[in-house]
Structure 1
Amino acid sequence: MKNTKLHLLLADDDIDDCDFFRDAIDEISDTFELTVLNNGVELMSFLVTEPETHPNLIFLDLNMPKKSGMECIAEIKASDSLSHIPIIIYSTSLDHIVVNTLYDMGAHHYIQKPAEFTSIKSVIKKVISLFDQTLLQPRSRDNFIIQP
């Protein structure tokens, strides 16, 4: 029987941020499966070696060791077998030049990591609610940055 849970993947090297994200997912719903990886090399290895378990959405930190989020998005979007996976940038910084570059590279949304747990839950809920719309509508600069 096929798993009907929405598979989310978080690639982030900050353990506290990963724990908060996991706790937020647990509180939002039990209909999600979450995979957490701690650097870009792990992410790319997982995507290449586990094609049967590709995530429905990738939440991607930019500043990670070994391979940055920007390097990962370039590789993912250049791959015929991976380019369809929506990528949500999940980063501490909010540099509008970088944000525009990421949009041009094919990211679907950008979230500046919220400091408060309720805001983390709020932005994750917004992304999940946009998921079906993202698949149905073209990406837009107007709704690229998701605020709590």
Structure 2
Amino acid sequence: MRKFKIIVVENDEDEQFFMKQGFDSSGLFEIITMVRNGDVLLEWLTDNTATLPDIILSDLNMPGKNGYDIILGIKGNPTYNHIPVIITSTSSTKTIVDKCLNMGAADYVVKPETFIEYVPYVENLHRLIEDKQLVRNAGGLPS
């Protein structure tokens, strides 16, 4: 089972804490960094082009650049447009999900209702990435 390098974009500190616990407990991901919004993400990517992630997991609603802005920023930049962006939010509203997917998000995953559900959330996220072959290996082929 492949361990994916991930950047998590989340503005809520409590949510960050519990997400990190879920990711660390699963052992399925290496969190490269956690940032609070799209502004910080895009700055980080610009400063760290040698350490790009396999996946970006982004909250949808944040101050500054939000999830929609991140999708457009990543998809519109040839340096980063190969990195799948998965949007996560508490909303499961079909029009919001469809908007994210139509803008170029690789997928949309609803956040768990309680913080104790982050390990299954992370396990499901990993399975989704593998099943959809969202991450390419070094040779450019699905992993």
Identity of aligned residues (%): 31
Query: Aligned partners of 1:130 and 1:94: how far apart in 2?
Result: 17
Q: Residue 74 of structure 2 corresponds to which residue in structure 1?
A: 76
Q: CA 1:85–1:14 in 2, change beyond 3 Å: closer, same or farther?
A: same
TM norm structure 2 = 0.83
Aligned-partner Cα distance in 2 for 1:136–1:54: 15
Matched residue SS, 2:96: helix
> What is the one-letter code of the residue matched to 2:60?
L
Say if 1:86 and 1:107, in contact at 8 Å, map to a contact too.
yes
TM-score by length of 1: 0.81
| Structure 1 residues not aligned, in runs of 5+ | 138-148
- Partners of 1:136 and 1:76 in 2: how far apart? 15
Cα contact 1:22–1:34 (8 A) shared by 2: no
Structure 2: segments with no counterpart, 5+ residues:
136-143
Specify the alignment match of 1:27 in structure 2: 25
Equivalent residue runs for 1:31-110 within 5 Å: 32-110=30-108
Deviation string, structure 1 residues 68-125 (Cα, Å, up to 9, x no partner): 1101111111111111111111112222111101111111121111122443221211
Q: Is the 8 A contact 2:55 2:85 kept in 1?
A: yes
- Please provide the CA RMSD for this pair: 2.1
**Which ranges of 4 or more aligned residues in structure 1 deviate by more than 4 Å?**
none
2:114 partner letter? E
Name the SS for the 1:74 alignment partner.
Answer: helix
- Offset from partner CA, 1:24-74 (integer Å, 9 cap, x none): 011111762341001110011111221111111111011111111101111
